[in-house]
Amino acid sequence: MMGVIADAALERQGYVIGVIPAAFVDQEVAHRGLSELRIVHSMHERKAMMAELSHAFVALPGGIGTMEEFFEVLSWAQLALHNKPCALLNVSGYYRQLIEFLDTAVEQDFLKPKHRALLIIEERPAALLDRLQEAITARGTERFDPSQT
């Protein structure tokens, strides 16, 4: 899915930066047509660099890796390590049970309502992009400092 999204952005003259551990480049997973490809040593370094380069974080439907990366940046927002918007694109209700889980965590006092409110959820890409732009403008997102994690 990352490659499809990168290609769509490139077709519309977007600037696409890829960040990949060297081990995956050797396995020929790297997208060679990006505007810029940054090669790092580890997945941890990859996530830190992506967090530094990003203005917002969006999870599309995905699996364990998607959830691991997304909850890491969401927890960094909860800890005020960054103020960048975090969002789920809830395609066809994919994240319905996850949203219910988070709401249950609030109800049972495992998650503060203000931290639950950090998460933007939309079903339509255009609506999500509008909300992200509003949040970025309102927050004046700060640069992420990976040394703080």
Let me know whether 36 and 59 are in one domain.
no
pTM: 0.85
Would you place residue 130 in the very low, low, confident or very high pLDDT band (cuts 50, 70, 90)?
Answer: very high
> Residue 122: how many CB atoms within 10 A of its CB?
18
What's the pLDDT tens digit per position in 11-50? 999 999 999 999 888 786 788 889 999 999 999 999 999 9
> What is the model's pLDDT at position 147?
54
Which domain covers residue 105, as residue numbers?
55-140
CB 2 within 8 A of CB 12: no
Give 94's contacts (C-beta < 8 A, 6+ positions apart): 61
Q: Are residues 45 and 70 in the same domain?
A: no
Burial level of 17, CB count in 10 A (0-12/13-18/19+)? Answer: middle
Question: 22 to each of 32, 66, 135, how far by Cα in Å?
Answer: 13, 20, 34
The average pLDDT across 86-102 equals 98
| pLDDT above 90 (res 97) | yes
Indicate if 37 and 103 belong to the same structural domain. Answer: no
State the DSSP string of the chain. -HHHHHHHHHHTT---EEEEEHHHHHTT-S-TTSSEEEEESSHHHHHHHHHHH-S-EEEPS--HHHHHHHHHHHHHHHTTS----EEEE-GGGTTHHHHHHHHHHHHTTSS-HHHHTTEEEESSHHHHHHHHHHHHHHHTPPPP-GGG-
Q: Are residues 72 and 102 in the same domain?
A: yes
Total domains present in the chain: 2
Alpha carbon 16 to chain centroid distance? Answer: 15
CA neighbor of 35 nearest in space, from 23, 56, 22, 53: 53
Domain boundary among 37, 53, 69: 53
CATH number of the CATH domain containing 121: 3.40.50.450
